[in-house]
A = this chain, B = another copy of it.
Amino acid sequence: MKKIDMLTPIGILIGISMVVFGVISSGGMSGFLAFIDVPSILIVLGGVFGTLCVSFPLKQLKNVGRVGKQAFQSKEINVEEIVGTFVHLSEKARREGLLSLEAELEQIDDSFVKKGILLAIDGVEPEMIRELLEAEIAAVEERHTRGRSMFEKAGDYAPAWGMIGTLVGLVLMLKSLNTPSSLGPNMAIALLTTFYGALLSNLFFQPIAAKLAGKTEHELFVKEVIIEGVIGLQAGQNSRFVQAKLKVFAPVEKRKLEEKREHVREA
């Protein structure tokens, strides 16, 4: 189930609001226009885009939109639900045999879980199941790392292009110092590319790369839990052990709650 990760656009909005607020609070509404300079923003964005073209293959560059979009989406992967599923399945498998799980497969959405259980039912050796699923995890990780690296590089190059733009402005300004009255405004325009570079890097590229990294980490982690579940399932491990092992991964707060309930029950 894909939902919108509202926090990403909200965060960008907050950042932009801060800049706008800063401009208006010290320069008024009229000062606002000083920050909109289309050539400057084109130089920074164009320069970064050119650099990315040199840095990455076409196949990867074409994904930049799809990868970036993921920072605005949130896949709801509920670890506890998955743990619950495996506890349930391992109980059933111990009672009625592994083959009985075939009937349960239709209710499972996650294709990775499905694949794992199918391999277990097919009687593939645990070593091979682990090998196949780990290979899939490694491939997912590599794909994500590669996609994310475009945003990381853009975060590195944006300030550099900001500086290149400012150097262009400075050289032109210094060359014609004979009109000192235009010194200030020209310098202001020269600084705009540095400003755009810093803003793009620190509000877009770097934070989006960070969010993508977090999402990848979570996804890989869930997949690791699933592998443990599948292996435990096939080995016919005690469902209590499976639960204990998988429950470790559940977030703290929930566990505290459960422990408290257990205390109450024990008392």
Q: Which residues of B have CB within 8 Å of A189?
A: 26
- A128 to chain B: closest residue by CB: B241
A242 CB to closest chain B CB (Å) equals 11
Q: Which residues of B have CB within 8 Å of A173?
A: 184
Identical copies of this chain, number: 5
Interface residues on A, range: 35 or more
| Most-contacted residue by chain B among A42, A54, A163 (CB, 10 A) | A54
Q: Which residues of B have CB within 8 Å of A42?
A: 18, 21
Q: A22-B39, A43-B18 are in contact. Are A31 and B203 (CB under 8 A)?
A: no
A185 CB to closest chain B CB (Å) equals 6
Given A19-B43, A57-B215, A164-B195: 9 more A-B contacts, CB < 8 Å: A7-B53, A7-B58, A55-B207, A132-B245, A135-B245, A167-B194, A175-B184, A175-B188, A177-B184
Measuring CB to CB, which residues of chain A are less than 8 angstroms from any residue of chain B?
Answer: 5, 7-8, 10-19, 21-23, 25-27, 31, 34-35, 39-40, 42-43, 46-47, 49-61, 71, 74, 111, 128, 131-132, 135-136, 139, 142-143, 146, 153, 157, 160-161, 163-165, 167-178, 181, 183-189, 191-195, 198-199, 201-204, 206-208, 210-211, 214-215, 218, 221, 241, 244-245, 248-249, 251-252, 259
